[in-house]
Every structure is written in structure tokens, then in C-alpha cells.
Amino acid sequence: MPDIKLSKMVKAGAITYFFDIKETKTKKPYLIITESRFKGEGKERERKTIVLFAESAQEFSKALSEMVAKLN
């Protein structure tokens, strides 16, 4: 499993988001965004993951920024 080079966590109620930068075997960085959701007492947390490589990061960031701006 690749080592995490940088990590950030955002809590939003019962959901926690993790932003982790890792490297491939060839030292190419990539971003993993994980959503961890609490499903109830005594139950396992549900996890969903998005993997984002550098070549699509700018377009992803632009689309996310545009959509976040629409929330206000």
C-alpha cells in the first residue's frame, strides 16, 4: 500500500471526508478522496472513494469550484 504523503480530514456530521495524496510505484502523485459515513451504532462505516490523477486535477477543481459557487 502506498505511503500517504499529505492528508486532510473534514467532518460533516455523520460523514467524514479524507483527502490523501499518495504516490504510484513510479513516484507519480495522485489524490484519493474518501467519504466515510456512519451507518448506526454497532454497524460498520460505509466508505466510498474517488481516485484523481494530476492530469485531470485542474478540470476537476474547476468543476468543483463552479458547483460550490452555485450553492451560495
Q: How far is CA 28 from the centre of its chain?
A: 17
**For the segment 6-19, what is each residue's pLDDT rounded down to a tens digit?**
999 999 988 999 99
Name the residue ranges covered by the structural domains of the chain: 4-71
What is the residue whose three cell numbers read 500500500?
Answer: 1
What is the rounded distance in angstroms from the CA atom of residue 3 to the CA atom of residue 66? 31
At residue 38, the pLDDT reads 83
What is the rounded distance in angstroms from the CA atom of residue 10 to the CA atom of residue 33? 11
The dotted CATH code for 4-71 is: 3.10.450.700
Torsion of CA 15, 35, 18, 65, to 10 degrees: -100
Which tops the pLDDT comparison, 64 or 3?
64
C-alpha cell at 36: 466515510
